[in-house]
Copies of this chain bind each other. A is one copy, B any other.
Amino acid sequence: MDFDNLLGFIAACLTTAAFIPQTYHSITTKDLSGISLGMYAAFTCGVVLWMIYGYRIDSAPILLANLITFVLSVTILYLKIQHQLEERRESKK
């Protein structure tokens, strides 16, 4: 693996693994008011397109990295939607 590919590989690992601490933080603290629903909705859609792109050009790294990111970002998106629905129920009481 030459230097540039190594650089790309480490960059992909960092920008993928970065979502692990956020997912852990959101699951354990349930503190989602500071999380933007817009971000995770758009980001999750983008990651799905990256997966399709990776599949179509036969790039396992792009497909795998974005599959991991998808699992993490859709978890945060799910928690945020739940949080938002709960807030709405509370405000109706």
A68 within 8 A of B: no
Given A25-B34, A34-B31, also A7-B49 (CB < 8 A): yes
- Bound-state CA distance A29–B33 (Å) is 9
**How big is the A interface, by class?**
35 or more
Given the complex, which residues of B lie within 8 Å of A45, measured CB to CB? 14
The answer to whether A29 touches B34, judged by C-beta atoms less than 8 angstroms apart, is: yes
Interface SS of chain A: helix
**B interface footprint on A23-65 (CB within 8 Å = 1, 0 otherwise):** 0111001011111111110110111011011001100000000
Q: Assuming A18-B43, A19-B39, A32-B34, what are 15 further A-B pairs, CB within 8 angstroms?
A: A4-B57, A7-B49, A7-B52, A7-B53, A11-B50, A11-B53, A15-B43, A15-B50, A16-B46, A18-B46, A19-B43, A21-B39, A24-B36, A26-B34, A29-B34
- Listed in ascending order, the chain A residues whose CB lies under 8 Å from chain B are 4, 7-8, 10-22, 24-26, 29, 31-40, 42-43, 45-47, 49-50, 52-53, 56-57
